[in-house]
Structure 1
Amino acid sequence: MARTAIDLDEEPIAEVATALGTSTTSETVNTALREVLENRRRALAVARFRPAAGEGAPGPGQVSR
């Protein structure tokens, strides 16, 4: 893991640490970065599948059993 010196606002770091349940600044930043990447990947996957859903695929509640 690389060491990088950056200036961080303490208040947002503390809020994010509480939200993520992390205990150190490094853990908070690394966990937040991973979550951002996971959320971005999910959003991109949804965007890729959304056009297919518009081509006659049933929406929620429209699937017959």
Structure 2
Amino acid sequence: MKTTIDLPEELLKEAMDVSRIDDESVVIQEGLHALIRREKIKKLKKFKGSIDLDIDMRKLRQR
């Protein structure tokens, strides 16, 4: 998909320098992937301690 966006040049340049990626499109894609991953992890962390898995490790090891 093609789109036109207005990005601060300094921000894009810093992202390219830090990631050592030369292609602007790839840098933006990587940033979007990182944002999506971070938000999914945040949602998963809300479940921490709320799911009770009654797992007997001895039984699993005997399988």
Taking structure 2 as the reference length, the TM-score comes to 0.68
Q: Deviations over 1:26-58 (max 9, x none)?
A: 111111000000011011111122x428xxxxx
Partner of residue 29, structure 2? 30
Residue 6 of structure 1 and its aligned partner are, at CA, apart by 1.3
Q: Deviations over 1:8-33 (max 9, x none)?
A: 11100111122223211111111100
Map of 1:45 onto structure 2: 44
Show structure 2 runs of 5+ residues with no match: 52-63
The two structures, once aligned, show a CA RMSD in angstroms of 1.9
Which aligned runs of 4 or more in structure 1 are off by greater than 4 angstroms? none
State the alpha-carbon separation in 1 of the partners of residues 50 and 12 from structure 2: 40
Of all paired residues, the percent bearing the same amino acid is: 18
Question: Which residue matches 1:3?
Answer: 2
